[in-house]
Amino acid sequence: MWRSYDAAQRISEADPSVTLPSETLKDRGGYAQLLWGIKPRIVAGLRGEFSSGDPASFDSEVRRDRTRFSPNFTWYPTEFSKFRMQYNFDDRKGIGTDHSLWFQFEFLLGAHAAHKF
């Protein structure tokens, strides 16, 4: 993925007495994901992500290179619902690392076409 964003002149959040000039922010990144169906309705996965911002920008501290690795486990109890657990390891260059654990529950309500699951 690639993005070029024209940011307008703005007041700095860190120091309101400073006005930041307009600039064009250029970002890039990508991800890859591998899923493995262990059994019907049980899936394990691993996703890797990378993103990078333009080091010449005024917000370069928060726009540095970063990577994330996310193993996850999903269980589909029915064709209308799923439970997912995901761990994230974030490595943000110059800022540090973070660890997080996410839980997701998803369900569908209402009429829909019949299908095989």
* Domain definitions of the chain by residue range: 32-107
**Residues 100-114 pLDDT 10s:** 999 999 998 877 666
Higher-confidence residue of 74 and 21: namely 74
Can you give the pLDDT at residue 72? 98
- Tell me: pLDDT of 117 over 60: no
pLDDT tens digit sequence for 8-67: 888 888 888 888 888 888 889 999 999 999 999 999 999 999 998 876 665 666 667 889
- The pLDDT of 58-79, averaged and rounded, is 85
Mean pLDDT confidence for 61-90: 91
pTM (global) more than 0.75: no
pLDDT at res. 81: 93
DSSP 60: T
How many other C-beta atoms are found inside a 10 Å radius of the C-beta of residue 95?
12
- Give me the pLDDT at residue 57, please: 63
Ranges assigned E (strand) in the chain: 2-7, 10-11, 19-20, 23-39, 42-53, 66-78, 81-92, 96-107
| 82 or 52, which is more confident | 82
Nearest Cα to Cα of residue 84 among 49, 51, 117, 35: 35
Q: Which residues of 7-30 are buried (b: 16+ CB within 10 A; e: fewer)?
A: eeeeeeeeeeeeebeebebeeeee
pLDDT > 90? residue 6: no
